[in-house]
Structure 1
Amino acid sequence: MARAEPLNIVSEAWPPYIYEEAGSLKGVDYDVTNRVLGQLGYEARWQLLPWRRALHDTANGSADAILDISPNPERLQQYIFPHEPLSRSESVLFYRIDRPHRFTGLQDLRGLKIGVSAGYVYGNPEFMHADYFSREPAASTEASLLMLMHERVDMVIMNKRAGQFTLRQLGLERQVTHHPLVVSSGALFLAFHRSPDMAALAKRFSSGLSTFKRSSEYLQILQRYGLTEL
């Protein structure tokens, strides 16, 4: 058999999409990406990095692709995005149950400190540019939630599924909850370094992913992580 071509992929640990457990990587988008790339004749080599580093390494070609990135005008110039997304992300506000804050719209955040993930782009321009509350960056989802528990921030914005998963890991699911109102949402992609070879692969990956999503194996992966609503 022909030897699979290696492909270096980076991301940040972001359960249930990609994370490490008992020394092995797993996650819904990790599993799907591995399967589709394998069908295309590629062997994915994975590295978990801080998000800013993952962005930098993919932009300069140290890595071939970055997992679970959302597009914006700047990123569309830096990376090659396939047509087909892997998942969708919904960002909500988490808060301590014993320190609730009203939230029916962004104006309710006036004067508050909101924890954010460093280097993340939330697909809500008003949230990103508003000057009536402060945005306090943290290095990871876990770090953001610990900032919340230590009262360094009033609320934390993060992907709903990632927040719920991390709360269970930290044993904080009875102390922290989230508002139902979605602040931003958008598609998540495997984006590639901007080069002719990667542009061709992005097209093949998009087609392969679209086909794989119609398979029973794709549904089995979703069920494995309790994400059948995708």
Structure 2
Amino acid sequence: MIFMMGMAGLAEIYRLTQTRFFLFALLAVILISIVGCGNYQGENESSSISISSIENVEFPGNSSFRKTGHLSENEDSAFGAEQSGDGENINIHSISRRIEERIVVLVADEWPPYNFEQNSSHKGFVIDVAREIFTPSGYRIIYRVLPWTRALKGTLLGYYDGAVAASRIEGPDLVFHDTPVVVNRVSFFTSKDSKWLWEGQESLENQILGVASGYDYNTFINKYIHDNSGNGRKVQIVSGERPIHQNLMKLINGRVQIVAGNRGTINFIAAEQGLQHEIRFAGLDKRDDSLCYIAFTPVKKRGETLAILMNTGMDRLRRTGVWSLLLKKYGLSDSEAESEMNLKSASEAAFEGDTERENGGHE
């Protein structure tokens, strides 16, 4: 009897011990989960990138980035898929890998003569400037053509290193060097039969203006676009990798009456499409200039390093005469004074620029 009572007592002690062990284990799991979640949230907060100043920029599609500052899973994978099949044996979206292998990835939509199509034999004035600056320091430039708002977004998040020919208004959270590479003035073009002339903002009344999504034109035109962006009878906005091509075709087909943009770029693209005799220059807005740079990513202080190289490199190019040779190659006047094409065709200018290089024009 005593033996049976002893066994029952031991069983009760064992049961109570198991219960206490289970309670202690459960409490430990809860505490670990709370601590872990706190650390995870802290890491997210410290690594997030502020986009408050560009939250109203129109990004293509129904992007979660516009609301949260982070890409959805589908959008994140879309950046990676964008570069497949290009022959590069590197994940250019890994910023740590790019830093290690001294690769600089520059992106933009097509904006000749400053940056051309990705597969063009001539990459453009700004791309050539970047190569002349970064190559002597042991960097390799990779250039990609993307829709402009996508290029800005990807650079902000660190998928790419620099957005080519961006203004501070277009990329307020990006990192800028000191001296602009392009000074952009807004020009206006119409079809050849139009009599319209730019005579101030009032002259835009009863006209349909064609512009590109995400572009910084100037303070006044930006406001006009913003105020009338929902009115297709005043402003029509296009996006994509070649928005100026689209706007010129809309102009020729009578879907818009005016196209705004950089005079040199529009002249170049019109000549490329054989439309130079179908359009006419209708005026230049001299009230305000848009200063354009290579705007670098703020992630991991990558942009600070590249911006310093741009500052010293641009001084070197001007001092050695390389800057002037590159301007001549693309038929440009000094971009700090005026961003317009010379009358000489860009193809002739590019040919002469290459000839000077072959004849020892510069090292």
Q: TM-score, normalised by structure 1?
A: 0.90
Task: Give the superposition deviation at 1:48.
Answer: 0.5
> 1:117-132 counterparts in 2 under 5 A?
117-124=212-219, 126-130=220-224, 131=227
- Taking a change above 3 Å as real, the CA distance of residues 60 and 25 of structure 1, as seen in their structure-2 partners, is farther
Equivalence for 1:211: 316
Structure with bigger strand share is 1
Equivalence for 1:181: 284
Structure with bigger helix share is 2
- Taking a change above 3 Å as real, the CA distance of residues 22 and 199 of structure 1, as seen in their structure-2 partners, is closer
Task: Give the superposition deviation at 1:22.
Answer: 6.5
Equivalence for 1:9: 106
Equivalence for 1:51: 148
Measured in 1, the distance between the counterparts of 2:183 and 2:284 equals: 16
Task: Give the superposition deviation at 1:180.
Answer: 3.0
Higher relative contact order (CA 8 A, sep 6+): 1
Secondary structure at 1:151 match in 2: coil
Q: TM-score, normalised by structure 2?
A: 0.58
What one-letter code is carried by the residue in structure 2 that aligns with 1:148?
L
**1:75 alignment partner, one of 164, 171, 179:** 171
CA RMSD of aligned residues (A): 2.0
Given that residues 177 and 308 in structure 2 are in contact (C-alpha distance below 8 angstroms), is that contact kept between their aligned partners in structure 1? Answer: yes
Structure 2 gaps, min length 5:
1-99, 336-363
The answer on 1:192 being equivalent to 2:192 is: no
> 1:15-94 counterparts in 2 under 5 A?
15-20=112-117, 23-72=120-169, 75-76=171-172, 78-94=173-189
**2:264 alignment partner, one of 125, 136, 161:** 161
Task: Give the superposition deviation at 1:217.
Answer: 2.0
Secondary structure at 2:308 match in 1: helix
Secondary structure at 1:33 match in 2: helix
Report Cα offsets for 1:99-156 as digits up to 9, x if no partner.
23232111110122100011112222x3222347722112311111011111111101
Task: Give the superposition deviation at 1:23.
Answer: 4.2
Measured in 2, the distance between the counterparts of 1:123 and 1:170 equals: 27
Measured in 2, the distance between the counterparts of 1:110 and 1:222 equals: 37
Given that residues 167 and 290 in structure 2 are in contact (C-alpha distance below 8 angstroms), is that contact kept between their aligned partners in structure 1? Answer: yes
Q: Greater CA radius of gyration, 1 or 2?
A: 2
- Taking a change above 3 Å as real, the CA distance of residues 192 and 180 of structure 1, as seen in their structure-2 partners, is same
Report Cα offsets for 1:7-42 as digits up to 9, x if no partner.
111111111001138643421111111110112221
